[in-house]
Amino acid sequence: MIKAGVIGAGAMGQHHIRIYNEMQEVELVGISDTNQTRVEELALQYDTKPYTNYSELLKEGLDAVSIVVPTTLHKKIALDALEADVHVLVEKPIADTIENADIMIKAARAANRIMMIGHIERFNPAITEIKKIIDSGLLGKVVSISIRRVGPYNPRIRDVGIIIDLGVHDIDLISYLFNQQVTEVYSIAGKDIHSQEDHASVILRFKNNRSGVVETNWLTPHKTREMTIVGLEGVAYVDLIDQNVSIHDKHWIREAKVEKDEPLKKELEHFILTIKNNNIPLIEGKDGKYALEVALAVIESSRNREIVRMG
């Protein structure tokens, strides 16, 4: 039985709490949040212990903890958890700066503990299926991947702009599907309803003239998460919300069979299995650091109105 805890009981944290509570191989030892009323209500609902000081939760002999707090707090809480010999899952982005990401990665290595980064879309069943399709060669050489990730603004997001909050998902996904790292970025972004950028159009260059295009904003009244993948032998359309994948070529339009499931559930199952088997997680600290590096380059590009070269 894996003893788990959750630090941060906000909109995303409550789902970590719910899923750990449902997992047969996990004992949800406790949850922590600075909002005493909220953490006590959730603890009562899920029959676990509430803590307003996460340090007290870390003394309960945990094997694993999800860190679901504002980005600026990731480093401090992750270091404390690792010092307590606890495996950690840190929600994306890994940290607020590259320096803090490096400190966290080094600490996880020194503690010999797993530090997985919560890039949830990697566990979306539609992504699992399209990754298999791309790797099988069904689409031929893939030359372009574009993603449209738009929706209304959520007032709870105050510490980062849309590129760090949402765009980082697509930086990670496009790199994952290409199995390559970005070589250049160019972006146009602006801020109209937020203290930082709230809309952005991003172009990512990869080797062999492959391209990634990301459109993201907090200005669209309805939530959309759509992907188009262009190959020499066919085009794939992916709906990340409905988890649908269709393949179009010169002969057929086909729907791929996707075993639909909740991405966060798949992510947490992977985290627990990684701990039990002492494996390397699908998304390590270095992967989270890379996505953050590219996201920061995207912000730099938009501010300076110039191409930023990576590496």
Which CATH number does the domain housing residue 79 bear?
3.40.50.720
Shared-domain flag, residues 100 and 162: no
- Residues 17-24 have a mean pLDDT of 97
Query: Mean pLDDT, to the nearest integer, of 177-204?
Result: 95
Whether 215 is covered by a domain: the verdict is yes
- Please check whether residues 153 and 202 belong to one and the same domain: yes
- Going from the C-alpha of 38 to that of each of 3, 14, 270, the distances in angstroms are 22, 10, 28
Residue 179 DSSP one-character state:
T
281-307 pLDDT per residue, tens: 999 999 999 999 999 999 999 999 999
Instruction: Point out which residues pair with 117 in neighbouring strands.
Output: 90
Instruction: Count structural domains, the chain.
Output: 2
Is the distance from CB of 198 to CB of 217 less than 8 angstroms? Answer: yes
pLDDT band at residue 154, thresholds of 50, 70 and 90? confident
pLDDT-based confidence at residue 160 (cuts at 50, 70, 90): confident
Query: Does residue 254 sit in the same domain as residue 180?
Result: yes
- Give helix then strand counts, H and E, for the chain: 10, 15
Number of neighbouring beta carbons within 10 Å of residue 40: 17
Q: Which two tokens stand for residue 219?
A: 């200005």
pTM of the model: 0.94
My answer on whether 193 and 93 are in the same domain is no
Q: Are residues 162 and 199 in the same domain?
A: yes
Q: Which of the residue ranges 27-31, 103-107, 192-196, 237-241 would you say has the lowest mean pLDDT?
A: 192-196
**CA-wise closest residue to 15 among 42, 44, 53, 48:** 42
Q: Domain check: are 127 and 55 in the same one? A: no
What pLDDT, on the 0 to 100 scale, is given for residue 193?
86
Q: In this structure, what CATH number is given to the domain that contains residue 214?
A: 3.30.360.10
pLDDT score for 28: 98
Q: What's the pLDDT score for residue 289?
A: 98
> Is there a domain that residue 286 lies in?
no
Locate 61 and state its tokens. 């002999």
Residue type, 46: Y
Q: Where are the beta strands (DSSP E) in 153-262?
A: 184-190, 199-205, 211-217, 219-231, 235-239, 244-248, 253-255
Q: Specify if 238 maps to a domain.
A: yes
Residues 156 and 86 grouped into a single domain: no
Instruction: Give tens-digit pLDDT for 115-128.
Output: 999 999 999 999 99
Q: Is residue 287 part of a domain?
A: no
Q: Are 103 and 75 in contact (CB under 8 A)?
A: yes
Which structural domain range is residue 69 located in?
A: 2-120+265-280
Same domain for 136 and 176, yes or no, is yes
Picking from 6, 7, 8, the residue whose alpha carbon sits closest to that of residue 20 is 6
| Same domain, residue pair 247 and 181 | yes
pLDDT at 3: 98
Check whether residue 96 and residue 22 sit in a common domain.
yes
Position 170 confidence tier, pLDDT thresholds 50, 70, 90? very high
Percentage of the chain modeled with pLDDT above 70: 100
**With pLDDT > 90 as the criterion, what percentage of the chain qualifies?**
94
Q: Which pLDDT band, with edges at 50, 70 and 90, does 175 fall under? A: very high
The pLDDT of residue 156: 73
Look up residue 200 and give its two tokens: 């952005």
Write out pLDDT tens, residues 231-283: 999 999 999 999 999 999 999 999 999 999 999 999 999 999 999 999 999 99
DSSP helix/strand/coil, 113: coil
Q: Is 157 a residue whose pLDDT tops 80?
A: no
Residue 103 placed within a domain: yes
| Structure letter (DSSP) for residue 233 | S
Distance CA 75, CA 96 (A): 8
Averaged pLDDT score across all residues of the chain? 96
Check whether residue 18 and residue 65 sit in a common domain: yes
Give me the pLDDT at residue 103, please. Answer: 98
Q: pLDDT tier at 153 (50, 70, 90 boundaries)?
A: confident
Measured distance CA(298)–CA(277) in Å, rounded: 37
- Convert the pLDDT of each residue in 60-86 to its tens digit: 999 999 999 999 999 999 999 999 999
Cis peptide before 93, with omega less than 30 degrees from 0? yes
